[in-house]
Amino acid sequence: MFTNGVFKFELRCPLKYNDAGTHPTVKFTSYVYNPHVHPTTGEVDIKREYPRWDSNRHFLTTVLTYVKRIFYTREYQDEDDKYPNQEALKLYKTDLEGFRRRVAECVRESQKGVYLNENGSTVSDCFLSS
């Protein structure tokens, strides 16, 4: 459903990253219509997937894999009230075509800003070609 979407995000590590219980944070800076993504803050609840952060088992690649996986989820089986975007979850469960339309809108919107970077971004014009 999210095919061709270009969703930008920030991955931040706390100062005491890799201490027990110090999760990194992921926040989308582009709008993502997904039950796993908070509709106003763009945050992904990493603690939901990794309740106890263990620096011997969990790595940034683990987090990135989880973030990728939320775009492929086809079923939402956990407790419904645990998802940050309740509207998206309800629409997915009650009107799949309506959900797909909203996802298609956010994919189109993501493509409009593909070459625009947020202030303070470490990404330069490496995506631009002449």
Stated pTM of the model: 0.84
pLDDT of residue 122: 64
Long-range contacts of 20-26 (CB under 8 A, 24+ apart): 20/52, 20/53, 20/54, 20/55, 21/52, 21/53, 22/53, 23/47, 23/50, 23/53, 24/60, 24/63, 26/63, 26/67
Rounded to whole angstroms, the Cα distance separating 23 from 54 reads 9
pLDDT of residue 127: 45
pLDDT of residue 16: 83
pLDDT of residue 40: 96
Rounded to whole angstroms, the Cα distance separating 37 from 11 reads 14
Per-residue pLDDT of the chain (130 residues; tens, 9 = 90+): 999 999 999 999 888 887 777 889 999 999 999 999 999 999 998 988 888 888 888 888 999 999 999 999 878 776 778 899 999 999 999 999 999 999 999 999 999 877 777 776 665 544 443 3
Q: How many distinct helices (H) and strands (E) make up the chain?
A: 4, 3
